């Protein structure tokens, strides 16, 4: 996430692929010998061009989610992290291996979250709760967003 310098509101980093109306969060699989934190840095840089911070906060989600990328459409153990970017941070989706045709900062609002597939939108909703609990998002704004997306 980042605080938009023009609006003062929060933005979320999302990409789109074959279906431009569907927005996705950057995500990837842990490689052998790689920590989840190292996976976050690798995937975020590969998929968005953003070099994420050296340290990441505790995960806001650690459990299982349904993942259609698996050939057997299995439940996959998932660890999700919330990363904060500098407001002027640029992204570049033109890197080789990037699954997105477009990548960019989107307003963290219901219209955006409602374009994210339900399983991933659930993670975004969990992130919104964490943002409100930590004081990084107004609790009333968070409540309105959760009601409008849930």
pTM for the complete prediction? 0.88
Query: Quick one: DSSP state of residue 24?
Result: B
Q: Which residues pair with 126 in a beta bridge?
A: none
The three-state secondary structure class of 146 is: helix
pLDDT in tens, 22-66: 999 998 889 999 999 899 989 998 898 888 777 778 899 998 887
- Rounded CA separation 8/87 (Å): 10
Number of domains in the chain: 1
- Rounded CA separation 143/24 (Å): 22
pLDDT band at residue 149 using 50, 70 and 90 as cut-offs: very high
Instruction: Kindly report the CATH number assigned to the domain that includes residue 99.
Output: 3.90.79.10
* Statement: residue 71 has pLDDT above 70: no
Give the structural domain span for 143. Answer: 2-149
- Rounded CA separation 40/78 (Å): 12
pLDDT band at residue 130 using 50, 70 and 90 as cut-offs: very high
pLDDT band at residue 77 using 50, 70 and 90 as cut-offs: confident
């Amino acid at each position: 996430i980042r605080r938009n310098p023009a609006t003062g509101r929060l933005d979320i980093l999302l990409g789109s692929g074959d279906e431009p109306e569907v927005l996705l969060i950057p995500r990837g699989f842990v490689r052998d010998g790689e920590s989840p934190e190292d996976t976050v840095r690798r995937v975020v840089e590969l998929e968005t061009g953003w070099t994420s911070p050296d340290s990441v906060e505790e995960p806001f989600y650690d459990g299982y989610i349904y993942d259609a990328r698996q050939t057997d459409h299995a439940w996959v153990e998932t660890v999700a992290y919330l990363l904060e970017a500098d407001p002027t941070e640029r992204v570049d989706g033109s890197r080789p291996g990037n699954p997105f045709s477009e990548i960019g900062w989107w307003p963290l609002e219901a219209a955006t979250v409602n374009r994210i597939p339900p399983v991933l939108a659930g993670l975004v909703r969990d992130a919104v709760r964490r943002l409100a609990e930590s004081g990084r998002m107004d609790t009333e704004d968070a409540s309105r967003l959760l009601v409008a997306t849930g």
